[in-house]
Chain A
Amino acid sequence: MSVLVFAESENNTLKRNAAEVASYGVALAEKLGTKCTAISFNTNNAKELGAFGIAHVANINIASNHFDANAYAGAIEDHAKNTNVTHIVLGSSADAKFLAPILSGKLGAAYAPNAVALPNEMNPLTVKRTAFTNKAFVYTQLTSDINIIGVGNNTFGAVENAIDCTVEDMDSKQFTSNLEQVSVDKVTGKATIADADVVVSGGRGLKGPEHWHLVEDLANVLGAATACSKPVSDMGWRSHDEHVGQTGKPVSTNLYIAIGISGAIQHLAGVNASKVKVVINNDPEAPFFKAADYGVVGDAFEVVPELIEKLKVFKAQG
Chain B
Amino acid sequence: MNILVCISHVPDTTSKINFTENNSLFDTNGVQYIINPNDEFGLTRAIWLKEKQGAQIHVIHVGAADADPTLRKCLAIGADKAFRIDTAAVDGNAVAHELAAFVKNNSYDLIIAGRESIDYNGGMVPGMLAALLDIPFVPNCVGLEIDGSIAVAEREIDGGREKLKGSLPMVIGGQKGLVEESDLRIPNMRGIMQARQKPFEVVPAQQASASSQDITFEKPAPKGDVKLVSADDLDQLIELLHKEAKVL
A contacts, CB < 8 Å to B: 69-70, 73, 93-95, 97-98, 100-106, 108-114, 126, 128, 130-144, 178-187, 190, 192-195, 197-198, 222, 234, 240-241, 243, 246-249, 254-255, 265-266, 269, 272, 275-276, 278-279, 289-299, 302-303, 306-307, 310-311, 314
- A278 touches which one: B125, B161, B162, B237 (CB < 8 A)? B237
> Are A182 and B129 closer than 8 Å at their CB atoms?
no
User: A105-B130, A179-B165, A193-B159 provided; 13 other pairs, C-beta below 8 A?
Assistant: A94-B155, A101-B127, A105-B127, A138-B214, A138-B217, A140-B214, A141-B215, A143-B211, A184-B160, A187-B160, A190-B159, A276-B241, A314-B238
Q: Are B91 and A110 in contact (CB under 8 A)?
A: yes
Contact A294 B226 (CB under 8 A): yes
Give the chain B neighbours of A106 by CB distance below 8 A.
131
Point out the residue from B38, B124, B212, B241 that lies within 8 Å of A255, measured CB to CB.
B241
Contact A133 B158 (CB under 8 A): no
With both chains docked as a complex, state the minimum distance between the C-beta of A87 and any C-beta of chain B, in angstroms. 13
Residues of B within 8 A of A295 (CB): 226-229
Q: A184-B157, A266-B13 are in contact. Are A179 and B166 (CB under 8 A)?
A: yes
* B242 and A314 contact, CB distance less than 8 A: yes
How many A-B pairs fall under 8 Å by CB?
263
Interface of B is mostly: mixed
CA distance A102 to B124 in the complex (A): 8
Cβ-based interface call for B104 (8 A): no
Q: Are the CB atoms of A101 and B124 closer together than 8 Å?
A: yes
Q: How far is the CB of A133 from chain B (nearest CB, A)?
A: 5
For residue A139, which residues in chain B have a CB less than 8 angstroms away from its CB? 214-218
A108 touches B211 (CB 8 A): yes
The answer, yes or no, to whether B176 is at the interface (CB within 8 Å) is: yes
Q: Mark B217-248, 1 if CB is under 8 A from A, else 0.
A: 11110011011111100110110111001011
Are B17 and A136 in contact, CB atoms less than 8 angstroms apart? yes
The 7 closest A-B pairs by CB, nearest first: A105-B131, A101-B127, A298-B231, A186-B160, A192-B159, A194-B158, A110-B211
Residue among B156, B214, B231 with the highest chain A CB neighbour number at 10 A: B231
Chain B residues whose C-beta falls within 8 Å of the C-beta of A269 in the assembled complex: 13
Instruction: Identify the B interface with A (CB < 8 A).
Output: 11, 13-14, 17, 19, 37-38, 91-93, 96, 118-132, 135-140, 142, 152, 155-167, 175-177, 180-182, 211-220, 223-224, 226-231, 234-235, 237-238, 240-242, 245, 247-248
Q: How near does chain A come to B49, taking the closest CB pair, in angstroms?
A: 19
**Once the chains are docked, how many angstroms separate the CA of A246 from the CA of B120?**
12
Residues of B within 8 A of A293 (CB): 224, 226-227, 245
Which residue of chain B is the closest to A269 with respect to CB atoms? B13
Contact B211 A69 (CB under 8 A): no
Give 10 A-B contacts (CB < 8 Å), ordered by A residue.
A70-B136, A100-B124, A104-B127, A105-B130, A135-B219, A144-B211, A185-B160, A291-B223, A295-B226, A298-B231
Bound CA span A307–B182, Å: 36
Tell me whether A95 and B124 are in contact (CB under 8 A). Answer: no
Question: B223 — which chain A residues lie within 8 A by C-beta?
Answer: 290-291
Residues of A within 8 A of B181 (CB): 234, 247
Instruction: Say whether A181 contacts B127, CB under 8 Å.
Output: no
Contact A310 B157 (CB under 8 A): no
Q: A132 to B121, alpha carbons, bound, how many Å?
A: 7
| Alpha-carbon distance A132/B127, docked complex (angstroms) | 20
Q: In the complex, what distance in Å separates the CA atom of A224 from the CA atom of B181?
A: 28
